[in-house]
Amino acid sequence: MAAAKMILDVDTGIDDALALLFALKSDEIGLEGITTVFGNVSAEQATRNTLAVLELSGAAEDIPVAMGAAGPLFGEWGGTVESIHDRNGIGGYELPEPKKQAIAEFAPDFIVRKLNEQPGEITLVFVGRLTNLAIALAKDPTIASKAKRLVLMGGALYAPGNVTPVAEANIWGDPEAAHRVFESGIPITMVGLDVTMEAVLRDEDVRRFKELAAGPGQEPLVRFVDAILKYYFEAYEQYNGCVGRIPMHDPLAVAVAEDPSLVDTEPHYIAIETKGRLSAGATLSDRRKASAFTEINASVCVRVDRDRFVDRLLKVLAAQPLSAQMRGTD
């Protein structure tokens, strides 16, 4: 069966790097391109990290990387999330300077072009702010009907937020962009904190990864993954009180795009709060009448098969590097 065509949008911090490795190494995913955005780090740093991780993965060299928005639609970017991802976004780990450069095309223009070239064929997977997609939709609203679907890591319906009591970081980081995307008509699967906080990696999973990945030529990958996971474990323990468990936010979104059966979903009409001083970035649904919606704009993930997800994640990350085969063309 042909690999599912995807465009992955990242703000490459630690869990983005793992999501990126998953997408690059999975034999069931064909990346048509990678777009970058501000968030955990600047758009420039996210692009550098993305190119470096791409080279580390051993994936095909012809996968285009396009840099996108440097800040939200309105207001200013709040800066790097050093407490969780460190200054450079990948736990302070220094990957070699990438040999490849990003393409000159602006990420929203790249998204518009690819969806128009292959209507109905490409799944968009966004694991950062939705700014690039909001800009793309403003440039060409017809792409909402040309994307196969959008799988996004963001939001929280039943779970509390992780930036404010009610808001998740990606939606909070640009609520106006999220509002425009959710109102666009694009088919959306929302992989939010309701499931990502349950999709945890534990110490024994890291040990299993290193056992699975043992082999010639795998040392750079194992060192990188081990180092960034160590930083992530320590950061989550220090700042979130999570001991011996870390949520795999972004890898879960990519895994759900590959295999929707990993999660159970509920249909909802999700509204994005953009104005509230205390509630900006909240993803709201009228749960009093959830079973009687006449309009639905998202399938919201509410339960995850954690064990099956982690098993798939570890096996894909530990797989031997792919040969330089065509995985997408610019």
pLDDT digits (tens, 9 = 90+) for 102-112: 999 999 999 99
Lowest mean pLDDT among 80-84, 206-210, 280-284, 293-297: 293-297
pTM of the model: 0.94
Q: Any catalytic annotation for residue 249?
A: yes
Structural domains in the chain plus CATH codes:
4-318 (3.90.245.10)
Pick the more confident residue, 151 or 214. Answer: 151
**Res 29 pLDDT > 50:** yes
pLDDT digits (tens, 9 = 90+) for 199-228: 999 999 999 999 999 988 899 999 999 999
Identity of residue 87: R
**Res 89 pLDDT > 50:** yes
Spot the catalytic one: 11, 16, 86, 194. Answer: 11
- The angle, 0 to 180 degrees and rounded to 10, between the axes of the packed helices 131-139 and 107-117 is 60
Alpha helices in 33-142 (DSSP H): 43-57, 82-85, 107-117, 131-139
Cβ-contact 207, 222 below 8 angstroms: no
| Alpha-carbon gap, residue 146 to 199, rounded angstroms | 30
Cβ-contact 245, 202 below 8 angstroms: yes
Spot the catalytic one: 85, 179, 249, 268. Answer: 249
**Res 252 pLDDT > 80:** yes
Q: Any catalytic annotation for residue 11?
A: yes
Average pLDDT over the chain, rounded to an integer = 93
